[in-house]
Amino acid sequence: MRLVVFGAPGAGKGTQVARIRDDLQAVSIATGDLLRIAARDGSEAGRQAQALMAKGKLVPDEVVGEIVRDRLAQTDARLGWVLDGFPRTLPQLALLERLLAKAKTPPDRWLLIDVPEDVIAERVLGRRTCRQCQTSWHVKFNPSPAGDRCGRCGGELYQRLDDSPENLETRLATFRRDTVPVLQRLRARGVLTEVRADGRSPDEVELLVRATLGLPQPVQVY
């Protein structure tokens, strides 16, 4: 399946994508993760992105567009992909649609995970991210079983610079200004599927997302 997932910062996009991508037979392409890796590795795109990301501002459309174009062209993306964090602006939407029309691989679904802003702050401020594999944990809602190391790969956990209160405000304002118009456009076209995550746990949201996308429900292990 080819799926585009939207959500404000802290809506839990990455968490849900990690839970469903195997059933979707898709690779996940998270532009925030790709940019953080580029910044860590000191590439040209990474250098351009780093300062903007630290302030919670968007990286220029051309920079992130090129990263997405390259990633979609890799062989493992042929079977399917989940785009997380792209497109975030109307020009990015236009670029993505041009790219996918050319490749004759339009998205199968566009999904919004909708979370009210008052829930977002607690989620974002408690988030801890693995420097190595980019997995997200939460000090209260999803603590790493390995304490201050990543429960998945053992890497060091840190608080992203853009997960501070001031930067969160900038990111929410950016979401309202640049990304909400993208959602409005897709809604007007009647292609946007919306899942309300208000106050629901990640498990409950997963059930909704799976039902919405027609995926099998997770098997209970007793």
Residues annotated as catalytic are: 13, 88, 127, 160, 171
175 versus 195: smaller Cβ distance to ligand AMP = 175
SS3 content of the chain, % helix, strand, coil (to 5): 50, 15, 35
H or E stretch covering 101: helix 90-103
Binding to ligand AMP in span 153-212, by CB under 6 A: 162, 171
4 versus 205: smaller Cβ distance to ligand AMP = 4
36 versus 190: smaller Cβ distance to ligand AMP = 36
In residues, how long is the chain? 222
Q: How far is the CB of 76 from ligand AMP (least distance, A)?
A: 20
Q: Does 56 bind ligand AMP (CB under 6 A)?
A: yes
Q: Does 12 bind ligand AMP (CB under 6 A)?
A: no
10 versus 26: smaller Cβ distance to ligand AMP = 10
Tokens 């979707």 belong to which residue? 24
Q: Does 85 bind ligand AMP (CB under 6 A)?
A: yes
198-203: Cβ within 8 A, 24+ apart: 198/114, 198/115, 198/116, 198/119, 199/119, 201/141, 202/12, 202/15, 202/16, 202/19, 202/141, 202/142
Single-letter residue type at 14: G
Of the candidate residues 18, 64, 112, 183, the single one contacting ligand AMP (CB under 6 A):
64
Upper half-sphere CA count for residue 122 (Cβ side, 13 Å)? 9
Interaction site with ligand AMP (CB under 6 A) = 9, 31-32, 35, 52-53, 56-59, 64, 85-86, 88, 92, 162, 171
